[in-house]
Amino acid sequence: QVQLVESGGGVVQPGRSLRLSCAASGFPFSDYAIHWVRQAPGRGLEWVALISYDGSEKYYADSVKGRFTISRDNSKNTLYLQMNSLRADDTAVYSCVREGGVVAAFDYWGQGTLVTVSS
């Protein structure tokens, strides 16, 4: 079955960096575009970034552009999110999400990893 398992979250001070990983299994990872979506505590869902199936195209939310970098290693079935210059408002659960189907819906979600930015 499709599985997406995030790791790498934790508590980090403002201005520091963190790298998240998402290990995929149960499907041909290199065939699918993948997103990062985050949810601040008690808040709604916010799209963060998208990477195409082969890594050639990347898109970012304005709120993270220039600070976050999405990447993937298809040989390892793994997605990454490098987060630099972290701010308090980046505090959230970060989930990787597969895009699939005829309308590119978010069809499978990981459970997420919590990132807390605090001094």
Give the residues lining the site for another protein (CB under 8 A). 35, 44-47, 50, 59, 61-62, 95, 99, 101-112
- Distance from first CA to last CA of the chain, Å, rounded? 40
- The two tokens of residue 72 are 């993937």
Cα–Cα dist 81/60, whole Å: 11
Of the pair 33, 83, the CB lying nearest another protein is at 33
Q: How far is the CB of 78 from another protein (least distance, A)?
A: 19
Q: How far is the CB of 13 from another protein (least distance, A)?
A: 27
Please tell me the total number of residues recorded for the chain in this structure: 119
Q: How far is the CB of 5 from another protein (least distance, A)?
A: 11
